[in-house]
């Protein structure tokens, strides 16, 4: 590990238990700017975002939405893949949207990235549907995550893909904490109607868990809808 990463790790070890973690929920002001700066540079954070984007298997013409995009690390990785599509990033922190904008300036200018400053619970978006959705270390911060995931399913095409990532950052987190987080995400996705779930782990300390799923394809949706229509 290089010196910069060691320093960032030490800052987090000191800062996290002293209230720093709150700044990762809703970064504001100068301290929020530091939180975003760390998220944009900490190697484990960058690695888990790039890994999640790779797992999402984004195609050149895909339209992808990321909720809780923070400083825009995954947005940048998504934009290098969706080169003829669109990447939309959503975050309730003005500081994060500003950093994400800076990190993705060229793609925004080219009309391939759009950033929206809003809480996910108030997201209203007209130009759906999307092919894929991503959320990294943010679902646990949303009010009523099942309701949010239901809304997200409606933004996706039939068969659309989703990836939810969790790398627990609480002090003392272990591989067991990551496995429990993965189970929780899988439960939320199942409740929200996503199918064909699979979990991948990235060997970080602690591991990052990514739960992937699909919205029912159009044919399945019809099969599910029919009995309800008759009853
Ligand atoms: C721990 S950070 C992760 C950021 C980014 N996904 C990453 O991995 O680098 C959580 C992000 O979710 C955002 N967030 C939390 N709750 C939110 C909500 N209800 N609506 C929109 N964004 C939210 C925060 O502002 C923050 O940028």
pTM surpassing 0.85? yes
Q: Whose CA is nearest to atom 23 of ligand 1?
A: 68
Q: Which has the higher per-residue pLDDT, 216 or 134?
A: 134
pLDDT of 180: 97
Q: Whose CA is nearest to atom 26 of ligand 1?
A: 70
What interhelical angle do 94-103 and 29-41 show, nearest 10?
A: 40
- Between CA 134 and CA 81 the distance in angstroms is 14
CATH fourth-level superfamily of 3-230: Vaccinia Virus protein VP39 (3.40.50.150)
- Between CA 34 and CA 68 the distance in angstroms is 17
pLDDT of 230: 37
Instruction: Read off the pLDDT of residues 207-218 as tens digits, 9 standing for 90 and up.
Output: 999 999 999 887
Half-sphere exposure of 86 (CA within 13 A, CB side): 11
Pick from 208, 215, 43: nearest CA to 137:
208
| Residue among 31, 70, 104 whose CB has most ligand 1 atoms within 8 A, to mutate | 70
Q: Give residue 133 CA to ligand 1 midpoint distance, Å.
A: 14
The CA angle 64-81-188, to the nearest 5 degrees, is: 35
Q: How does residue 2 score in pLDDT terms, banded at 50, 70 and 90?
A: confident
Q: How does residue 85 score in pLDDT terms, banded at 50, 70 and 90?
A: very high
220, pLDDT greater than 80: no
Q: How does residue 157 score in pLDDT terms, banded at 50, 70 and 90?
A: very high
Q: How does residue 1 score in pLDDT terms, banded at 50, 70 and 90?
A: low
Residue count of the chain, please give it.
231
């Amino acid at each position: 590990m290089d010196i910069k990463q060691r320093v960032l790790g030490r800052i987090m070890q000191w800062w996290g238990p002293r209230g720093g973690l709150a700044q990762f929920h809703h970064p504001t002001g100068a301290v929020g700017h530091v939180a975003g700066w760390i998220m944009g540079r900490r190697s484990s954070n960058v690695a888990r975002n790039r890994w999640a984007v790779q797992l999402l298997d984004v195609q050149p013409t895909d339209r992808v939405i990321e909720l809780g995009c923070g400083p825009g690390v995954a947005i940048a990785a998504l934009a290098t893949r969706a080169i003829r599509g669109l990447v939309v990033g959503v975050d309730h922190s003005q500081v994060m949207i500003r950093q994400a904008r800076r990190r993705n300036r060229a793609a925004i200018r080219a009309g391939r990235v759009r950033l929206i400053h809003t809480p996910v619970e108030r997201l209203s978006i007209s130009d759906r549907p999307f092919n894929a959705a991503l959320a990294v270390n943010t679902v646990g911060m949303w009010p009523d995550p099942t309701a949010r995931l239901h809304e997200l399913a409606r933004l996706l095409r039939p068969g659309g893909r989703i990836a939810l990532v969790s790398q627990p950052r609480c002090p003392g987190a272990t591989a067991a904490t990551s496995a429990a987080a993965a189970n929780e995400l899988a439960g939320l996705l199942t409740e929200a109607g996503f199918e064909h779930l699979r979990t991948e782990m990235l060997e970080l300390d602690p591991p990052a868990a990514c739960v992937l799923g699909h919205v029912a394809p159009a044919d399945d949706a019809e099969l599910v809808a029919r009995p309800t229509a008759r009853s």
